[in-house]
Amino acid sequence: MSDEINFLDLITLSRITPDLVVEKFGSKINSSYFDAANILGTLRIKGLIGFSADFPGQNAITVTDVGKALMKEAEDRSKGPFDQIDFAILLQMKSGKRSYVDIGNAVNLRPKDLAMHLYKLGKQQYAVEEIRNGLVEVMLTEKGLNQANAGMPKPQPLPGQTVQTMQAQQPQQQTKQPQQMKQSQAMAQAQSSMPMQGQNGATPPAPDNGSSGELEKALGAGKAKAGKTKIIAVVVVIIIIVFIVLYVKHII
């Protein structure tokens, strides 16, 4: 039976006060006596209220334990944070839907869950309800319209909850890097630490300030020795040529 509870049941039940009687319920919900009687009859069938049947006197309305439990549940849930379902309902209201039946069909919620969310939106001043002629409509407030235009709000820490606690409660996939990203970073670090290779694929030795001077001296000494060897070779060639020329002249 609780699944058959709808927003009209919840909002009219919230209008019942301890001193309310059947004969004055119509004015309480801005409806005719006939419409009010139909609503009261529905609430009684669902076990939410009871009333006396004194005639010709006035008949008092009493809320049953089931009705009180329903109102307590609605009050508790109305203190919860604004969530995705609330935002989806605001978007439907922004698009022009005012009937809870149309909104429920659009967001595909069972009537009781929709009633709880609409009640919460009213308590948190995102929406207001209006009962007229036995029907209830919901409309956005300025706060609700601004929220529908702004999108989902950022999560706010609950009383006594720190930012570090909220971050710790986030899913691990949001706080840890993917495995592939870690591998890519490790490969990049390994490549950056490797020495550069020459064109022939050989890895040049790391520069050493202490040995660079000795290398330059060795290269200089090699060049000097090569120069001396070249001079000696030229001198030998000249001597040979002179010897050949003198030998030819002696023969002639």
User: What does the domain layout of the chain look like in residue ranges?
Assistant: 2-150
Determine the average pLDDT of the residues in 21-42: 93
**pTM of the entire structure?**
0.61
Cα separations (Å) of 21 from 15, 79, 190?
A: 12, 30, 83
Lowest mean pLDDT among 55-64, 91-100, 165-174: 165-174
Per-residue pLDDT, 175: 47
Instruction: Write down the CATH number for the domain with range 2-150.
Output: 1.10.10.10
Tokens describing residue 240: 């040979």
Which residues, including other chains, have CB under 8 Å from residue 120's CB and lie 6 or more apart?
Answer: 74, 77, 78, 80, 86
Q: What percent of the chain has pLDDT over 70?
A: 65
Tokens describing residue 149: 């235009």
What pLDDT digit, counting tens, does each position of 157-199 carry?
656 655 555 555 555 545 445 555 666 666 666 665 555 544 4
Query: Is pLDDT at 34 greater than 80 in this prediction?
Result: yes
